Amino acid sequence: MIPKVFKEVIDLGEGREISIETGKLAKQAHGSVVVQSGKCMLLCTVVSNYKQADVDFLPLTVDYREKFAAAGRYPGGFFKREARPSDGEVLTMRLVDRVLRPLFPKDYHSETQVMIQLMSHDDEVMPDAMAGLAASAAIMLSDFPFECAISEARVGRVNGEFIINPTRAQLEESDIDMMIGASADSVMMVEGEMDEISEEEMTEAIKFAHEAIKIQCAAQLKLAEAFGKKETREYEPEREDADLAQKIHDMAYDKVYAVAKAGSSKHERGAAFAEIKEEIKATFSEEELEDIGGLVSKYYSKAEKAAVRDLTLNEGLRLDGRKTDEIRPIWCEVDYLPSTHGSAIFTRGETQALATVTLGTSREANQIDMPSFEGEERFYLHYNFPPFSTGEARPIRGTSRREVGHGNLAQRALKGMVPEDCPYTVRVVSEVLESNGSSSMATVCSGTMALMDAGVQLKKPVSGIAMGLISDADSGKYAVLSDILGDEDHLGDMDFKVTGTADGITACQMDIKVKGLSYEILVNALKQARDGRLHILEKLTDTISAPNDDVKSHAPKMVTRTIPNEFIGALIGPGGKVIQELQKETNTTIVINEDPVTEEGIVEILGTGQEGIDAVLAKIDSLMFKPEVGSVYEVKVIKMLDFGAVVEYMDAPGNEVLLHVSELAWERTENVSDVVNMGDVFDVKYFGIDSRTRKEKVSRKAILPKPEGYVARPPRENNGRDNRRDNRGRDNRGRDNRRDDRKPREDKKED
């Protein structure tokens, strides 16, 4: 018997809808839903342990996986099962985590797991746009202590019209691709890429998405009410002591305020704050610290945060002594690494990124193999954040989710500025060498310069900046901080990163921690970010004003040639023999792709020496050489035969044709060597396909003057040969009669 199913439907317009269903699947989970749009189905389950973990943070895991069976496909690779998550899956996990995490109580420390699985795929529906909705809907059906329903929606703009959750085809035509996460009251997360849009256009897109999210939040509440809203679970809250909190605040506030106002460096400031904390702890006995040591640390952190925020709101000063709109000192350098195809250093304050660029063929493209999307990237960026960049020693356990997310943001910022006709596959790698505030934006800046240093003809240079916000709802005061430090990221109300050219925004990532942030403040923050971006952009262009005209001498040059389909096989040769020998002889890399539309061959030739590239081009020209009937061509003798000479077209080396002995001269030629020899160069006339021999015919004598008194030989007489050939039928050979005349074979006698 199928259990009772509860369902809510959300209308997206234009005949599209999203349904949220519960009651049929995964009923032992604390909450489970199936979210469906078209044929796309996501199953989301949530579970949270009832026992608090012995940690001082929320151990929340958001897991998003796409099942290959959902698209009727097998996993690639040797082992035919889903393994580690792809970068695309990791990015979706981060999108959901960033919105959910702030809505759990700060003292809730139970192990919590949100699992979202793509169970059925639809080419017209992008599943990541529904992952946040699925997660929140499942939590709404649970007994978790969770503040309010949220949802996420993608917004695009095609022909000036905003679209909620566009299809992948619509997204190809869109100049905006933004994911917005919000509750019914507040926008909490924004991430996406844009085609140089203005700050006002970005704000309008956020507003449009928020209106759709409000409807999705209402549907979740309606479903929970119909299903039967569970009572919020009881959990053991953190220990609190109001008197102790006030005591620590009074002891720490003024001292912290003074250190913060001094404008010291990261390490000096950290050491001073640590000394204040130790002085406070020294006022307690060992027995007291054993009992309340955790509370002392907790209340000190609160006092430190309050003092630093008040300094900024009251005096407009920041931890390192800057004003709110001031950018840290910047220095840059290009062509730092002698063997890379392009390199650049970008240093801003205590943050430093070293970017490298590598150029290759389409063979080096980044292959994407997900159930929801198959394709390749000809431009991609990787971001590495080693522990020494923050003065720490810790083991490296592969690429972290943070590294994937920051690299993706920088990639989205730059990729729109790489021209469509760039022949190379381009890989950018950012090595973060120092970090104290927005290494991802340093990656964008160093990446821009490295690309220009490599000779990639960027349409426009791109810069990026990380911004912060400190606000006080009671007084109405707020301060927008340009180029934030790591500490300011932690203590602020908003962390947003914006990248763009001089003409508009290309990418953004925002995490908004304060409820009910007004759009007026958001626009002001974006405009201040624009001023900061332009300041940083000026520093980049002072270092390298435009892309280098050509790639470096040791970097590979790329030439692309299109050839008709029928010549692809000749260029490859039997078993790849021709192309392999050609690559070896010319020291080049040759890649042949077939255009899916025209079916022509697209030949990519990559080599450091122009001579080798020219040799490959000459070979291609030779293969495609087609002589015209009646035209005269220069040829060279490459082989001597008894009945003629094999000659090679000088314009097409490798293209050979037989020059018959009868076409060497008007006079009768007894020996070929009487007229031509190996290596001789002369002209011949092309006559096309000879009707008698069915082979190509060329003639040397045709372009020579006839000797005086020359008489052409009369055509040979037929002498009835044709008739004799006609009578060669089997019936006229008399074979049957001869067989009749034969004596029967005698059996061989046995000995």
How many Cβ atoms sit within 10 Å of the Cβ of residue 470? 23
The structure tokens 């900046």 sit at 465
Of 124, 123, 135, nearest to 42 by C-alpha is: 135
**What single DSSP character describes residue 386?**
-
What is the 3-state secondary structure of 355-368? EEEEEECHHHCEEE
56 is in an annotated binding site: no
Q: What SS3 state is found at 639?
A: strand
Lookup: tokens for 55: 């940690």
The structure tokens 């435009």 sit at 546
How many Cβ atoms sit within 10 Å of the Cβ of residue 751? 3
Lookup: tokens for 326: 């001031």
- What DSSP element (H or E) covers 32? strand 31-37
C-alpha–C-alpha distance, residues 179 and 85, integer Å: 21
C-alpha–C-alpha distance, residues 256 and 250, integer Å: 11
Phi, psi of 575 (to 5 degrees): 65, 20
552 Cβ partners below 8 Å, 6+ apart?
Answer: 341, 342, 454, 455
Calculate ∠ Cα 463-165-86, nearest 5°: 65
495 is in an annotated binding site: yes
Contact 5, 20 (CB under 8 A): no
153, 376, 590 from 560: Cα distances, Å: 41, 19, 10
Lookup: tokens for 591: 């890649």
Contact 540, 216 (CB under 8 A): no
The structure tokens 């590495």 sit at 384
In the chain, the largest separation of any two C-alpha atoms, in whole Å, equals 135
Of 499, 487, 493, 483, nearest to 521 by C-alpha is: 493
Phi, psi of 390 (to 5 degrees): -115, 15
Calculate ∠ Cα 181-16-194, nearest 5°: 45
- What DSSP element (H or E) covers 139? helix 131-140
Phi, psi of 176 (to 5 degrees): -140, 135
Phi, psi of 252 (to 5 degrees): -100, -35
213, 268, 704 from 20: Cα distances, Å: 14, 53, 88
How many Cβ atoms sit within 10 Å of the Cβ of residue 473? 11
Of 541, 348, 550, nearest to 448 by C-alpha is: 541
C-alpha–C-alpha distance, residues 17 and 460, integer Å: 40
Calculate ∠ Cα 737-738-739, nearest 5°: 90
Contact 45, 138 (CB under 8 A): yes
Task: List residues forming the annotated binding site for Mg(2+).
Answer: 489, 495
Q: Give the residue ranges of the annotated binding site.
A: 489, 495
